[in-house]
Amino acid sequence: MSVRHQIKKCVLAYSGGLDTSVIVPWLRENYGCEVVCFTADLGQAEELSGLEAKAIASGASKCYVEDLRLEFLNDFVFPTLRAGAIYERKYLLGTSFARPLIAKRMVEVAEAEGADAVAHGATGKGNDQVRFELTVMALNPRLRIIAPWREWEIRSRKDALEYAAKHNVPVTATEKSIYSRDRNFWHISHEGGLLENPWLEPEEAMHQLSVAPEQAPDQPEYLEIDFKQGLPVRVNGVAHGPLGIMEALNAIGGRHGIGRVDLVENRLVGIKSHGVYETPGGTLLYLAHQAIEELVLDRETLHYKLQVALKYADLVYNGQWFTPLREALDAFVNVTQHNVSGRARFKLYKGQAILVGRQSPHSLYREDYATFDQDDVYNQQDAEGFIKLFGLPLKVQAMIDIEGSGVSKYRQPDFSQFKRD
């Protein structure tokens, strides 16, 4: 018996898109196994309509559709926000931290169903295959992982459409207009199509969560966001839970064209990809969180946290959520957030979120310390001794240079810049 026919039941991470739709009959045809679909509701909205019926029509024995939006925000989105993690200066990790949650619940469904395998629709060129599989390996390494894109003969979306037509699989993608999208409560990403050429301007019709800045209101709108210990709690003075926070900020940011990012990023597998992200509410949360941290974190903690944020972003992007290092970094971040409470105020206008005010009961900023007027706390004459000590290494090095060559190394001419006649 071949390896392919040793699988009895497989749980598939199912989105209802082209790739996962054709995977259902492909698994049955090539592995002879029962297929159970699992879909996580992370805020895809209308995309979930009719999904269970579609999965059954494609050949699945059943389909789980579970609302994980609250867990998504509380356990994955907000910890990443509190860490300040941003991948390659722009990407707010909307797809990255969704995958470990989907895979985590997929493993739990597989265990409940008595399945011996799980499958996903990530390609062999992308990051998601790593994110899914690292999670499975961390949570239940006994499960077999099937990645059809690394096995089958399908090599393009055209091939997938032909396979779908042959097996009577209902799909909505067409050859004329194909974008690979991932949407959840945090963002939407767009890849493929015209975006495969990074020189071409993205077509406006592609965007779904935000208006073009030039089409945004001609009058600015003021926005206030309150945080308590690093977590958002109010929008414009109105208390909301996590879901309400995101609904409100996505609507506000979207109508002002906030949060559009065009990025050529370095994938984990070693190639570059071009994508466009829309993260209206998330962008506002990051900016507000940063504004309050500016007030309450001391210099050394803030500077070290910036380093932690870079590493945290790499871990999330690389799918290393369920790792000891991520847990350890969370412990550090949690301590830094004890005093991150306060309010940030913005003026939103034509794609820009302009910070116009911030306040916190734990602010370390004191006007009476920072003023150029006379004060009783800071003696400006004390700066002389501080500068002498701070610059002592430079002074010692210059004195040694002068004793040897008669001039500081930074005064010596660079003869490589001179040309001989």
Tokens of 359: 């306040």
- Amino acid sitting at position 357: G
What is the 3-state secondary structure of 193-247? HHHHCCCCCCCHHHCCCCCCHHHCCCCCEEEEEEEECCEEEEECCEECCHHHHHH
Cα 343 to chain centroid, rounded: 24
Active site residue 19: yes
- Alpha-carbon distance of 46 to 380, in angstroms, equals 63
Tokens of 389: 């000590």
State the Rg of the chain over Cα.
27
Q: Which of 15, 19, 69, 82 is catalytic?
A: 19
- Amino acid sitting at position 134: L
> What is residue 87's DSSP assignment?
B
Q: Which of 15, 58, 96, 180 is catalytic?
A: 180
Active site residue 299: no
Hey, what's the torsion of the CAs at 297, 301, 302, 304, to 10 degrees?
-170
Q: Which of 69, 82, 99, 260 is catalytic?
A: 99
Q: Where are the alpha helices (DSSP H) in 45-97?
A: 51-58, 69-72, 78-83
Question: What angle, 0 to 180 degrees and rounded to 10, lies between the N-to-C axes of helices 280-296 and 242-255?
Answer: 110
Active site residue 41: no
Q: Which of 15, 105, 128, 358 is catalytic?
A: 128
Active site residue 218: no
Residues known to be catalytic: 19, 99, 128, 180
